[in-house]
Chain A
């Protein structure tokens, strides 16, 4: 059973070796001349006035929650899609009622203006 994952393990190792190899080779070959002005974060020729660690719009948070909810819905849909031929009409009605409830929520979100940017 585990044999089918040999390829996954091999390519994982390969991917990390490629990434680490590029970084290590650069560390060995690339130049390194450190001085304070160069290490400053880029800011259009100015010193940084505002710290980047500040609060940002709550909209990103709303999008993340909506993403989780619809991701859970999608996760139910993948196996359902592959099993659809076996489930037949029953499956279609079942999933339609499941999605219909979520569409109500989606319409609510839309009407409330949470999707406006």
Chain B
């Protein structure tokens, strides 16, 4: 029954993200800021004196949010005020449907792809869902009848739509390399290696160099093929999440709390959840596109199964491989989460004109140039090996 499989895959992913990663990330956020600012940090919440190095703080957060009142300000548009946090949260969750957290396996009943929705146009789905998230920001500030809220939502929406363009353009080079828009296919294409100096053979120069050079292999990851695309995409998608250094829509020193300033209680909780949920979602998308997804570098799926099935049988080898791939995927996701936290606590907030200049004047031209340089290089390589 295929529907059961879909539900199981979804439940696994959603439970890992919302049940495990999300609370831990709010803790990591506090702990990492404490470490970087030489403080002791989150360690006050306790149950009967048990503190668990501050791991109880997420629980305290939830209890506190439930204890607060939903205040709808005077003159606010009540329906829009209620809908805005929902629009902010939903896109982050539904992006998870197309994330491949492991590869394609055959347990005897045909290939099973470890994605909830294995769409051929998966990246277009991600872009389409992401473009809806803008409304959460616009409507939140507008509906709450607050000057600060409106300023925040204007800044936020202009920033989000600007970076959306560059985010898409920075990935075109990657689509050209992997010839696909499907996330599972992009991940599978990265389950390979290439010889770094292989092109020298085409020129006939290989004898002039030491022999071991021709054995130097790199995994065919997006970050290796598209280093500029990686930097551009990571910057854009972090700007989409509106966290520091791109948090001008909620800049505390200028506009108090920005677009969600008239929100309290669980309505604010939804914005808070959306912001923190997007961190693992971003990490998953970046991992799948640029860090090889679930693949294990230098050990392709065939290699692992081939090495193991002699001793434990094909079925067990495939199962073990699946577990290894899931572990590899989440290891990379955790590294990407750490990187985002590191950036967030290292860089100060940009000025608004700097944010817009960075997008339109630096990153947009660079991403367009990246597309055409990639195109020329791909055509050159194809000519070389023909």
Task: Name A's B-contacting residues (CB within 8 A).
Answer: 3-8, 10-12, 14-16, 18-20, 22-23, 25-27, 29-33, 36, 38-44, 48, 50, 52-53, 56, 60, 63-64, 66-67, 70-71, 74-75, 77-85, 88-89, 92, 95-96, 99, 103, 106, 110, 115-117
Chain B residue with minimal CB distance to A20? B86
Chain B residue with minimal CB distance to A21? B266
- Chain A residues near B172 (CB, 8 Å)? 74, 77-78, 80-81
Contact A7 B6 (CB under 8 A): yes
- Please encode chain B, from 74 to 98, with 1 for each CB lying within 8 Å of some chain A CB and 0 for all others: 1110000010011001100110110
Main secondary structure of the interface of B (DSSP, over half): helix
- Please encode chain B, from 195 to 217, with 1 for each CB lying within 8 Å of some chain A CB and 0 for all others: 00000000000000000000000
Contact A32 B69 (CB under 8 A): yes
Report Cα–Cα, A84/B257, bound state, in Å: 45
Contact A84 B375 (CB under 8 A): yes
- Please encode chain B, from 113 to 143, with 1 for each CB lying within 8 Å of some chain A CB and 0 for all others: 0011111000111010000000000000000
Report Cα–Cα, A42/B252, bound state, in Å: 14
Contact B270 A19 (CB under 8 A): yes
Considering the complex, which residues of chain B in the window 95-119 have a beta carbon less than 8 Å from any beta carbon of chain A?
A: 96-97, 115-119
Report Cα–Cα, A70/B167, bound state, in Å: 11
Q: Which of B162, B265, B375 is A67 in contact with, Cβ under 8 Å?
A: B162
Contact B145 A41 (CB under 8 A): yes
- Chain B residues near A22 (CB, 8 Å)? 266, 269-270, 273
- Chain A residues near B164 (CB, 8 Å)? 67, 71
Name which of B176-184, B328-336, B338-346 contacts chain A: B176-184
Q: Which of B2, B72, B93, B256 is A39 in contact with, Cβ under 8 Å?
A: B72
Contact A84 B89 (CB under 8 A): no
Q: Count B interface residues, CB 8 Å.
A: 88
Q: Which of B7, B68, B266, B378 is A85 in contact with, Cβ under 8 Å?
A: B378
Chain A CB within 8 A of B298 CB: no
User: Which residue of A26, A48, A96 has the most chain B CB atoms within 10 A of its CB atom?
Assistant: A26
Q: List 25 A-B contacts (CB under 8 A).
A: A4-B118, A4-B119, A6-B2, A6-B117, A7-B10, A10-B6, A15-B90, A16-B90, A19-B85, A22-B270, A23-B82, A38-B71, A39-B72, A41-B74, A41-B147, A52-B146, A56-B150, A66-B360, A67-B161, A70-B169, A78-B172, A85-B179, A96-B372, A99-B371, A117-B357
With both chains docked as a complex, state the minimum distance between the C-beta of B74 and any C-beta of chain A, in angstroms. Answer: 5
Contact B375 A92 (CB under 8 A): yes
Contact B267 A84 (CB under 8 A): no
Main secondary structure of the interface of A (DSSP, over half): helix
With both chains docked as a complex, state the minimum distance between the C-beta of B66 and any C-beta of chain A, in angstroms. Answer: 5
Considering the complex, which residues of chain B in the window 142-163 have a beta carbon less than 8 Å from any beta carbon of chain A?
A: 144-150, 154, 157-158, 161-162
- Chain B residues near A16 (CB, 8 Å)? 86, 90
Q: Which of A11, A31, A42 is B116 in contact with, Cβ under 8 Å?
A: A11
Contact B147 A50 (CB under 8 A): yes
Contact A117 B179 (CB under 8 A): no
Chain A CB within 8 A of B73 CB: yes
- Given the interface pairs A3-B2, A81-B175, the reply to whether A30 lies near B94 with Cβ below 8 Å is no
Contact B368 A103 (CB under 8 A): yes
Report Cα–Cα, A113/B385, bound state, in Å: 46
A-B pairs, 3 with minimum CB distance: A7-B116, A26-B266, A7-B117
Report Cα–Cα, A40/B149, bound state, in Å: 13
- Chain A residues near B116 (CB, 8 Å)? 7-8, 10-11
- Please encode chain B, from 251 to 277, with 1 for each CB lying within 8 Å of some chain A CB and 0 for all others: 000001000011001110110010000
